[in-house]
Amino acid sequence: MAFCPTSGMLYFGMLIPMSAVESGGYVLPVVYAIATSLPVLVAAWIIAFSMQSLSKVMGKIAIFQCWLNRLVALLFILVGLYYTVTIII
């Protein structure tokens, strides 16, 4: 459990005394916890979704790189054969 100073002040300085005075005040900390955790959950979901998408893209890039490596290797072989033939002849 960690609070930033503002959240700590709001929680311990205002919310807990309010919930002690009000009838049904036990609900206030629960509402505060849900309301403050929603942005964190949304941010975590966005990060997880973007990482999943990023892994799919990286998989496609790896396949493309494999074929590109083969193409460049073939190109180097052909250029080498060309220079070998032109220098010998």
Each residue's pLDDT tens digit, 11-39: 777 788 888 888 888 888 888 888 888 88
With cut-offs at 50, 70 and 90, classify the pLDDT of residue 49. Answer: confident
* Mean pLDDT, the chain, integer: 85
Check residue 54 and give its pLDDT.
81
Q: Which of 6, 7, 9, 29 is nearest to 18 (CA)?
A: 29
Q: Residue 2: its pLDDT value, please?
A: 57
Residue 7 in this model has a pLDDT that exceeds 80: no
Specify the higher pLDDT residue, 18 or 71.
71
Task: Check residue 3 and give its pLDDT.
Answer: 60
If one compares 22 and 78, the residue with the highest pLDDT of the two is 78
**Does the predicted model carry a pTM greater than 0.75?**
no
- Provide the residue type at 15 as one letter: L
